[in-house]
C-alpha cells in the first residue's frame, strides 16, 4: 500500500528527488512510528515547480473546457474506485477512523465531479452601455499559475477543493501539502496523471520547511494566486507575503464555531447534530463545534445526553474495526487539548466524561464533555481541535447571539430551535459564513464554503468556487 505511493516531488510530470537529496519521515499518529520517508523539497524545488506551472499555463488554458472537465470526471471515478486503499493510506498518516477516511474520499471526489460540470459553464456577457454609444464584451479567463497550500486534517478533500476548480478554470498550480500528510497529496497527483492531466499542470512539492518552499513562490512574480487552507496565524503571514506581488488570494482559515441549543429545540436532533459537529474528524475540523451554548432550561439534560453518547465512543487506532475516536495528529495537538481542558477545570468547569490524555504510544485524547465552562476561558476563545465539548448555559436569545459573535472567527455557527421566526432571526444575526440550522454538518461540494472575519476570504465549492480561479476581462467595442 505505502510502497505504491511515489515518495518524491512531482514536477513537470516527473517524480523527482529533492534537489538537495533530503527526505523526511511520515509518522503514524496512532503509534508514533515512521511509515515511510518522502522527498523534502526546498527553495530550488519550489521554483522548479513554479517554472513547470508557468510553462504549462499557455497550452493548458487553451484546452477545451470539456477536455478539462473530462479529466476531472475520470479522476473522480478513479478516486471512487480506489476508495478502500486511499482511505487506508489516509488513516495511516492522519489517524482518523477508516469509515471517516472513506467518507472523506467520497467528499473529496465530489469536488472533482462538481467542477467537471462547472468547467463547461464558464460564461461571459455582452451588453449595451447605458448611453448606447458602446458595447461591452465580458470574458472570464484563468488567473494563471496558483500556489495551493493545504492542511493535514482533510488531506484529500482540501486538495481536491482547490485542484478541482483550478483545473476547471484552466489554471496550472503548485501544491504544497502539510508535512504530516504528504502521502494523500502524492496519491492524488498520481491519479490525476493517470486521468490524463498534462505534465506541469499540477506540481507537488512536499517539505518539512514550508516557509522555504511557499515564500519564494509568492514573491517570485510568476504565481498569480494563493489559495490557502490552514490556521489564521499562518494565513495572516501568507497574506502579507502575497501582498508584495498583489496576488489574488483565497483564505480558508480557523474557526471557533458556536453551537446554540434553545429551550424549544428537538433535543434528540440537537444531540445527534452535536455529535456530528463535534466528533467528525476527531474534533480536528475548522467547522468543529467549539463552544456549546445551551439555554438554561435544557442545559443539564443536553449535557447528560451528550456525555452518555461521548462516553460510548471507542478510542483506538483508526484501522481497527469499531473505532470511532482515532489519535490526534501529534503531541503538540494533544498537549494543547490537555492544557485547554486543565485550564477550564481549574477555572471551575466540571468534567462529565473524559478529561485527561491517555498514556502510551500514539497521541490519544478521549471524548470529553465539560459543563459550566467559565466565561472568557481560553477553551472558548481558541480552536480546541480535539474531541472536547465545552458547554455553558445562557438565558436569553440576545445573550446567546452576543456570546456566539464574541470571537474574531466567523466560519460556521450551529443553531437548534423549532421556532421558525427565531431560526431566521438568529441565522441573520450570527456573524459566520455558514450556518447549520438544525444540522450538524454544513460541508457540501455544491455549496459555497468559507468564513467571515478572521476565518478567511473567498469561498470554495458551489457555483462561486470557480470564480476564485477566474479573472474578468472587459472589452470595450463601439456600437456597430
Ligand atoms: P497550519 O499550521 O496553518 O498549516 C497549514 C498549511 O500551511 C500546512 O501545509 C503548513 O505546512 C503550511 N505552513 C505552515 N507554516 C507555514 C509558513 N511559514 N509558510 C508557508 N506555509 C506554512 O494549519 P494546520 O495545523 O495544518 O491545520 C489546521 C488549521 O487549518 C486549523 O486552524 C483549521 O481551522 C484550519 N482549517 C480551515 C479550513 C477552512 O476551510 N476554513 C479547513 C481545514 C482546516 P506544515 O504542515 O509543513 O507546517
Residues 220 and 278 in one domain: no
Point out which residues pair with 295 in neighbouring strands: 394
Residues 344 and 264 in one domain: yes
How far from chain centre, in Å, is Cα 160? 10
**Predicted confidence (pLDDT) per residue in 307-346, tens digit:** 999 999 999 999 999 999 999 999 999 999 999 999 999 9
- Our answer on whether the CB atom of 182 is closer than 6 Å to any ligand 1 atom is no
Q: Is 135 helix (H, G, I), strand (E, B) or coil?
A: strand
Distances (CA, A) of 251 to 135, 156, 164, 216: 35, 17, 16, 19
Q: Cα(148) to centroid of ligand 1, in Å?
A: 11
**Closest CA relative to residue 389, chosen from 469, 449, 325:** 325
Q: Cα(133) to centroid of ligand 1, in Å?
A: 50
Residues 230 and 310 in one domain: no
Q: For residue 447, is it within any domain? A: no
Q: Is 331 helix (H, G, I), strand (E, B) or coil?
A: helix
Mean pLDDT, the chain, as a whole number? 98
- Our answer on whether the CB atom of 283 is closer than 6 Å to any ligand 1 atom is no
Per-residue confidence (pLDDT) for residue 103, from 0 to 100 = 98
**Predicted confidence (pLDDT) per residue in 68-123, tens digit:** 999 999 999 999 999 999 999 999 999 999 999 999 999 999 999 999 999 999 99
- Tell me the best of 41, 204, 231 to mutate to test the pocket of ligand 1, counting ligand atoms within 8 Å of each CB and taking the most: 231
Q: For residue 299, is it within any domain? A: yes
DSSP structure class, residue 224: -
Q: For residue 443, is it within any domain? A: no
Point out which residues pair with 457 in neighbouring strands: 251
Q: For residue 228, is it within any domain? A: yes
Range of the domain at 307: 257-437
State the DSSP string of 240-304: HHHHHTT-EEEEE----EEEEE-TTS-HHHHHHHHHHHHHGGGG-STTSEEEEEEEHHHHHHHHH
Rounded to an integer, what distance in angstroms lies between the CA atom of residue 234 and that of residue 148?
14
**Predicted confidence (pLDDT) per residue in 361-418, tens digit:** 999 999 999 999 998 999 999 999 999 999 999 999 999 999 999 999 999 999 999 9
Total number of domains in the chain: 2
Residues 6 and 86 in one domain: yes
Residues 241 and 291 in one domain: no
**Predicted confidence (pLDDT) per residue in 131-190, tens digit:** 999 999 999 999 999 999 999 999 999 999 999 999 999 999 999 999 999 999 999 999
Amino acid at each position: 500500500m505505502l510502497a505504491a505511493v511515489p515518495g518524491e516531488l512531482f514536477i513537470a510530470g516527473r517524480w523527482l528527488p529533492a534537489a538537495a537529496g533530503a527526505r523526511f519521515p511520515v509518522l503514524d499518529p496512532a503509534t508514533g512510528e515512521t511509515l515511510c520517508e518522502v522527498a523534502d523539497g526546498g527553495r530550488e524545488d519550489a521554483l522548479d515547480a513554479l517554472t513547470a506551472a508557468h510553462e504549462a499555463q499557455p497550452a493548458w488554458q487553451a484546452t477545451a473546457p470539456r477536455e478539462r472537465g473530462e479529466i476531472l470526471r475520470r479522476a473522480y471515478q478513479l478516486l471512487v474506485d480506489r476508495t478502500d486503499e486511499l482511505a487506508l493510506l489516509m488513516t495511516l498518516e492522519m489517524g482518523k477512523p477508516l469509515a471517516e477516511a472513506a467518507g472523506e474520499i467520497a467528499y473529496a471526489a465530489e469536488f472533482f465531479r462538481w467542477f467537471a460540470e462547472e468547467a463547461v459553464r464558464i460564461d461571459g456577457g455582452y451588453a449595451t452601455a447605458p448611453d448606447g454609444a458602446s458595447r461591452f464584451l465580458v470574458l472570464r479567463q484563468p488567473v494563471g499559475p496558483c500556489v495551493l497550500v493545504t492542511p493535514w486534517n482533510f488531506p484529500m478533500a482540501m486538495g481536491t477543493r482547490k485542484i478541482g476548480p483550478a483545473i476547471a478554470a484552466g489554471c496550472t498550480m503548485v501544491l504544497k501539502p502539510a508535512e504530516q500528510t504528504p502521502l494523500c497529496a502524492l496519491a492524488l497527483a498520481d491519479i490525476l496523471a493517470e486521468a490524463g492531466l498534462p505534465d506541469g499542470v499540477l506540481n507537488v512539492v512536499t517539505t518539512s520547511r514550508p516557509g522555504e518552499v511557499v515564500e519564494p513562490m509568492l514573491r517570485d512574480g510568476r504565481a498569480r494566486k494563493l489559495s490557502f487552507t490552514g490556521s489564521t496565524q499562518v494565513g495572516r503571514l501568507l497574506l502579507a507575503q502575497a501582498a508584495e506581488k498583489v496576488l489574488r488570494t483565497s483564505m480558508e482559515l480557523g474557526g471557533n464555531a458556536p453551537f446554540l441549543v434553545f429551550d424549544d429545540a428537538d433535543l434528540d436532533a440537537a444531540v445527534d447534530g452535536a455529535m456530528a459537529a463535534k466528533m467528525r474528524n476527531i474534533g480536528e475540523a475548522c467547522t468543529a463545534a467549539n463552544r456549546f451554548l445551551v439555554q438554561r432550561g435544557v442545559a443539564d439534560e443536553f449535557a447528560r445526553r451528550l456525555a452518555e453518547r461521548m462516553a460510548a465512543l471507542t478510542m483506538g487506532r483508526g484501522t481497527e474495526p469499531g473505532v470511532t475516536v482515532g489519535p490526534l495528529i501529534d503531541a503538540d495537538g494533544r498537549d494543547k487539548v490537555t492544557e485547554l481542558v486543565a485550564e477550564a477545570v481549574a477555572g471551575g468547569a466540571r468534567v462529565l466524561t473524559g478529561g485527561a490524555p491517555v498514556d502510551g504510544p500514539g497521541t490519544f485524547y478521549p471524548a470529553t464533555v465539560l459543563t459550566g465552562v467559565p466565561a472568557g476561558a481560553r477553551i472558548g476563545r481558541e480552536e480546541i481541535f480535539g474531541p472536547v465539548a465545552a458547554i455553558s448555559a445562557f438565558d436569553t436569545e440576545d445573550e446567546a447571539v452576543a456570546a456566539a459573535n464574541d470571537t474574531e472567527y466567523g466560519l460556521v455557527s450551529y443553531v437548534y430551535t423549532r421556532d421558525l421566526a427565531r431560526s431566521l432571526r438568529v441565522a441573520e444575526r450570527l456573524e459566520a459564513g455558514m450556518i447549520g440550522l438544525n444540522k450538524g454538518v454544513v460541508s457540501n461540494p455544491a455549496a459555497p464554503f468559507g468564513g467571515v472575519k478572521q476565518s478567511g476570504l473567498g469561498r470554495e465549492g458551489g457555483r462561486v468556487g470557480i470564480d476564485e480561479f477566474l479573472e474578468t476581462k472587459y472589452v470595450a467595442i463601439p456600437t456597430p
